[in-house]
Amino acid sequence: MSQTFGKTSWKRFAVAMVPGIAATAAIGVGLANNALAASFNVSGQRFKVTAADLDGQNFAQFGSYDFETNGTPHAVAISAFDTATIQKMCQSVVSEPSLLGLKLPKVTLRLEAGNDPAKPVTAQNLLIDLDQLNADAEFTNINIGQDASTLNTTATSGWKDIAGHPKPSGALGFSQAAPHAHLTGVQQTAWATSAGTFKLNGLSLKLYVGDDGNGKECY
């Protein structure tokens, strides 16, 4: 399935995790019923994500493009997990809204979950479109250089880009895959994300207006 994001930044604010996490209905992004998600139309605004620890099964990653509604393309790495457990997740986005041509004060939205070690964030069939990732990472039996068209994880099964094309093959289809991945000290920027199921234990969501949002981004 595919999802389309409008020009309003709140519709695109997805609760994300590296290499891939989902969305929350509280901010207007619907969860996919399964992981057969395509690339997204995006609002043109990225969001930041951090996590103390992410442990995931059946990791896969390959390249694609997302497009703003005005047609502007953004190169992204499509990252996926069949399942993931995340400790101390934070996501933030800064919006500068306008109304009838009048520029309004900036709004910073910060979301946290999984701060209790006994109640982490959990997700299944995760897909995220990211363009920057910093972390300490350990991959088990990783295969680097695999043809993307041969990826067979649940999260990537049936994936198609915004034009309806399947995962690329050959020189344009460079990918990597591993049955297990463990990342710590995660910092990420992303354009969009989706998941089949997403459980946010200990969810906290706060809005900061104007200068009250200074220093409130996750990093």
* pLDDT tens string 20-56: 333 322 222 323 333 334 456 677 789 999 999 999 9
CA dist., res. 120 & res. 32, Å (int)? 21
User: What pLDDT score was predicted for residue 170?
Assistant: 55
Which tokens hold the place of 110?
Answer: 């910060």
Residue stretches of the chain with pLDDT short of 50:
1-38, 171
Name the β-bridge partners of 160.
Answer: 166
Which tokens hold the place of 1?
Answer: 């399935």
Which tokens hold the place of 32?
Answer: 């996919």
| Residue among 43, 91, 179, 191 at smallest CA distance from 131 | 191
**195 exposed, middle or buried (CB, 10 Å; 0-12, 13-18, 19+)?**
buried
CA dist., res. 183 & res. 118, Å (int)? 18
